[in-house]
């Protein structure tokens, strides 16, 4: 029974999340019951949605309970098994949370998924070929539903969702324009991720200025947009939207600390006959197999090889998470434990 370091949520943010909201504890893993497996986590996934769960507010998911291990995706390896479907050494992804090990009742469907690391690195199953990748796929394919030649935009373009979105959009013959923070990320979006253009929103601190930059980068207007940030970024996109444009609303990280985040001109949704649709990828499990297949193929073909930001050791998780919320990561943010 190995020792198991865990990070608990012990308080809710007043406004910004802070390191003191988390507490590191050390326990021992329990003995396994029949049907259970012990997973050693190689990677923890850090994702923006986790900030929402830290609040005690009505949302699509129940709040993260206080005093319990922070929930989250994990990729690891079976180190002990009392379940005939999983063998020691199997690579698996699941929802083990912010800890070094998890005990999983692997007989329950959907708790743990075996993955093949021949052509896809294990960590990618938390990013490009995992929940963030499927998130990009769902918003693109099911909400934006682009036609070849259309112009698409995405905020937080170099993150885990954005990098997958770029590859998926290009595979469909679309012009894809990113919005990201800082010249380095914008260069990366164009040179490595294959975006046709990328706008540094820090150079455009209001909707009118950003709208002008979008006009230049999207000379035919915007047909589809994937929103991760909200606020004036979304206002600027609405200013350049074409008739019948579709917006997939996936995140509004700009408002996670409780700032009011109004939409300046909702009448544009009407005058442009737009569709704005919010979604949560975990409510659309039916698309995962199809989405993961396409994402895995893009990775295997070398068309989707995003960078990762990797923090070392479980102790680094809170700081890495707070940095993610401020956009300090570069691509998918992970914590490496092994």
| Distance, CA of 194 to CA of 211 (rounded, Å) | 22
Choices 4-12, 130-138, 277-285, 305-313 (CB under 8 A): range interacting with its own copies: 277-285
Tell me: does residue 148 bind its own copies (CB under 8 A).
no
Task: Please tell me whether residue 276 binds its own copies under the rule CB under 8 A.
Answer: yes
Instruction: Output the smallest distance, CB 276 to its own copies, in A.
Output: 5
In whole angstroms, the minimum distance from the beta carbon of 238 to its own copies comes to: 10
* 252 counts as binding its own copies under rule CB under 8 A: yes
Should residue 264 be labelled a site residue for its own copies when binding is judged by CB under 8 A?
Answer: yes
The interface with its own copies within residues 75-134 (CB under 8 A) comprises none
Applying the rule CB under 8 A, the residues between 219 and 238 that interact with its own copies are 230, 234
Among 266, 290, 293, 303, binds its own copies (CB under 8 A): 266
* Shortest Cβ 275–its own copies spacing (Å): 4
Question: Considering beta carbons, is residue 183 or 266 the nearer one to its own copies?
Answer: 266
Measured CA to CA, the distance from residue 36 to residue 86 in angstroms comes to 9
Pick from 96, 120, 33, 86: nearest CA to 296: 120
Beta bridge mates, 192: none
Give 110 or 260: the residue with its C-beta nearer to its own copies: 260
**Torsion angle, alpha carbons of 48, 322, 299, 126, to 10:** -70
Q: Is 285 in the site for its own copies (CB under 8 A)?
A: no
Decide if residue 283 touches its own copies (CB under 8 A): yes
| Rounded to 5°, angle at Cα 123 from 117 and 124 | 80
Of the candidate residues 1, 31, 56, 59, the single one contacting its own copies (CB under 8 A): 59
Among 17, 207, 250, 295, binds its own copies (CB under 8 A): 250
The full DSSP string for 104-159 is: EETTSTTSEEE---SSS-GGGGGTTTSHHHHHHHHIIIIII-PPTT-EEEEESTTS
Residues sharing a CB contact under 8 Å with residue 214, sequence separation 6 or more, in sequence order: 153, 177, 199, 222, 236, 237, 239, 240
Position 282 contacts its own copies (CB under 8 A): no
| In contact, 234 and 212? CB cutoff 8 Å | no
269 touching its own copies, by CB under 8 A? yes
Q: Of residues 262, 285, 290, 300, which one binds its own copies by CB under 8 A?
A: 262
Q: Judged by CB, which is closer to its own copies: 3, or 267?
A: 267
Distances (CA, A) of 280 to 144, 161, 245: 15, 13, 20
- Residue 330 interacts with its own copies (CB under 8 A): yes or no: no
Number of residues forming the site for its own copies (CB under 8 A): 32
CA dist 8 and 1 (Å) reads 20
Strand partners, 197: 177
Taking the C-alpha atoms of residue 291 and residue 299, their distance in angstroms, rounded to an integer, is: 12
Footprint of its own copies (CB under 8 A): 58-60, 230, 234, 243, 249-252, 255, 260-267, 269-280, 283
């Amino acid at each position: 029974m190995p020792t198991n370091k865990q990070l608990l949520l012990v308080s809710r943010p007043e406004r910004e999340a802070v390191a003191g909201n988390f507490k590191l504890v050390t326990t021992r893993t329990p003995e396994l019951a029949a049907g259970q497996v012990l997973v050693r986590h190689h990677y923890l996934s850090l994702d923006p949605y986790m900030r929402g769960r830290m609040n005690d507010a009505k949302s699509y998911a129940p709040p993260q309970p206080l005093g319990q291990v922070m929930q989250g995706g994990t990729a690891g390896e079976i180190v002990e098994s009392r379940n005939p479907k999983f063998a020691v050494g199997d690579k698996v992804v699941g929802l083990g949370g912010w800890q070094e090990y998890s005990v999983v009742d692997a007989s329950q469907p959907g708790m743990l998924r075996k993955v093949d690391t021949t052509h896809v690195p294990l960590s990618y199953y938390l990013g490009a070929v995992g929940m963030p990748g499927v998130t990009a796929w769902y918003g693109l394919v099911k909400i934006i539903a682009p036609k070849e030649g259309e112009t698409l935009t995405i905020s937080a373009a170099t993150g885990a969702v954005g990098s997958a979105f770029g590859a998926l959009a290009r595979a469909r013959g679309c012009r894809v324009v990113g919005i990201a923070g800082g010249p380095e990320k914008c260069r990366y979006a164009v040179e490595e991720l294959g975006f046709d253009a990328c706008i540094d929103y820090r150079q455009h601190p209001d909707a009118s200025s950003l709208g002008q930059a979008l006009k230049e980068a999207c000379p035919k207007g915007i047909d589809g947009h994937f929103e991760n940030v909200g606020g004036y970024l979304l206002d600027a996109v609405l200013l350049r939207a074409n008739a019948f444009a579709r917006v997939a609303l996936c995140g509004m990280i700009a408002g996670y600390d409780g700032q009011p985040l109004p939409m300046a001109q909702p009448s544009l949704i009407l005058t442009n006959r737009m569709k704005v649709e919010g979604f949560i990828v975990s409510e659309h499990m039916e698309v995962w197999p199809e989405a993961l297949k396409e994402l895995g193929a893009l990775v295997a073909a070398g068309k989707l090889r995003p960078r990762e930001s990797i923090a070392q050791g479980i102790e680094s998780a809170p700081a890495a998470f707070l940095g993610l919320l401020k956009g300090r990561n570069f691509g998918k943010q992970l914590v490496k434990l092994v």
